[in-house]
Structure 1
Amino acid sequence: MVELAGSTVTALTEAEWERALAGVTAPLPFGTACWRRWGDTSAPGRRFTPVRVCRSDAGELLVPLFVSELDGQLGGFGYGMVCPGTTWPHPALPRFDRLARTLCAAAGLAGLRTLLPPLSTVDDLDRLAGHWRGVPGRPTYVLDLTAGAESVWARARGSARTAVRRAESHRVWIDDPRPADGAAVTDLYLRTLQRAGHRLGSRPDLAFLAEKRADVLTVVARGGDGAAQAVSAFAVCAGTAFHVVQATSDAGRRTNAGHLAFFAAISGLAAAGVRRVDLGSATNPGQERFKLNWGATARPTRLLSWPGGQP
């Protein structure tokens, strides 16, 4: 078991964090600036205070620490995680309670928490933190892609397949995002939130989802006039994808463009070798129905907190 007694905790600037993160293989994709800034729109009072935990004989860990008043959180968007540095010699991370005790003592925090995906969702994460069990959190919905997109189509309920065919009958077509789609992605996202009764503290900048990036796959469904009717976007990392945007215009709701965009994205992920897709939690019955209709399985996330007795 990795011990952290005698470790040094050093604060990093955002620039130092980005440089350090670029030199390691992160088990989750949410540590870079674009994801953090998106997370800031829903938690504006939180401060990003990244640190490096280092001990001469135990290597270093990169910690995306966010601080709100006296509490700390690992990660600021999606799931949280700790990244082993290039000198980390161990196959696994230290116990969560030991890491939390070290971080809280150094930063003057009363507690630390984080959220992890279900076990057997991200292989590299299981290797590093399979012993971080915590308590069951809100269910997320996991879609198995190991047998390819054709298997997803075969398992999907008839209503999902009918919606895709209906979109095609309305001459909705699939396209890669264009540089000019950055604003449209954000507008569709905000319009979808508005229909569900949600408001953000500020407007996020989601233009990065329309860029060509190794950690993102985005599909746009367009109407006959070329306007974006739906967007389906995923963060991608080491064989696992995370559904981050499913957004539809008012016109796209009438044509079922969202289902067509979703299945096109799933097909692209399967072709890229993605084996599992985390579709996220459901905040209303409609979202739950969408995920289940496509064959996803509800599985509990992992909530970890210290103090709390969780290893």
Structure 2
Amino acid sequence: MSRIAVIPDLELYDREIGHTRGYSDESLKNLDDIIDKIIENNFDMALFAGDLVYNPFRSETYRAQVYRRFMRLNNYLSSKMPDGVKIVRLDGETEVVNNTIFAVQGNHDKSPNKETFFKFLLDTGMIYTPIEMYDDKWSINLLHYQKDAKAAIEQSYARGRDSSKYNIDAMHLELDGAGIINAFGELTSYGWNLLKADLTIAAHLHNANELVEHERSDGTKFRLSVPGSIGRTKLNMSTQRDFAQFVTVNLLTREEKHEAIELKNWQEFFDLGSSIRTQRLEKSLGSYSKDLEIHHFKSFDPKEMLNSMGLPQDVLETALSYISQ
């Protein structure tokens, strides 16, 4: 049996973010809870769907704590797929790998100036970032982050999909900016016909939605999962919740569902007083900026003023000669 857990936006980090309280401890707890559920429910593979980390870690202690947890997950999964998993690498070559921890690369997993923990996991062989994982009956396409979501989807579909298989697309893209999904994580009419997989898992969007079924214009049906983020990096409507969820899929029976983990109460997790003060300041500054925008400041031009006064031509020429000196 091939059962996979797909984990969105874990956002691991060893510092506070914005107005959080205890973010480091909470991120480790979330990772523990997910690994516990993977082991308890006898999953065969794990796929982190982007933004595994928030920013490069500064604490070596935290780095070691996270790595030990990935070692625990790796040790459990290493015997689950004894024949390995077939993958298509980023360079287009195919191979069979024995590691069953995979990852979509999100925007936070990349750092142009610093070594991220995500890259460390890649370099040590703890995780793989292919563009496809597949078997005779199923295929999982990984759409890694790039700024142009439509281009990423088109490039992925250009490789084709085997309609005889159960196809899953796991993506970490700006779908709301591309008009595929709206701000609430709901598909637009454009998105209904663009997504071609049997199941599309959309990470990067922090709004947590139900797993829903849609029908395209040609009558074919597909499922959409917008699980939301596990890491809560800012206080807004999407993070005022005390749960997070990840996606579980049985690749043989095509059974899909959202699995919940409990989070710290959001009113305790966020410093509400500090957040309110910041929001008031931002609102005040925003109003001030708008006030500036509606004032059109114009520099004083004496030549323009003289020309507009209706002076006789000889007087005007004399006056203009004085201010030109």
Q: How high is the TM-score relative to the length of structure 1?
A: 0.26
Q: TM-score, normalised by structure 2?
A: 0.26
| Bigger relative contact order, structure 1 or 2 (CA pairs below 8 A, ≥6 apart) | 1
Task: Judging by fraction of residues, say which structure has more strand.
Answer: 1
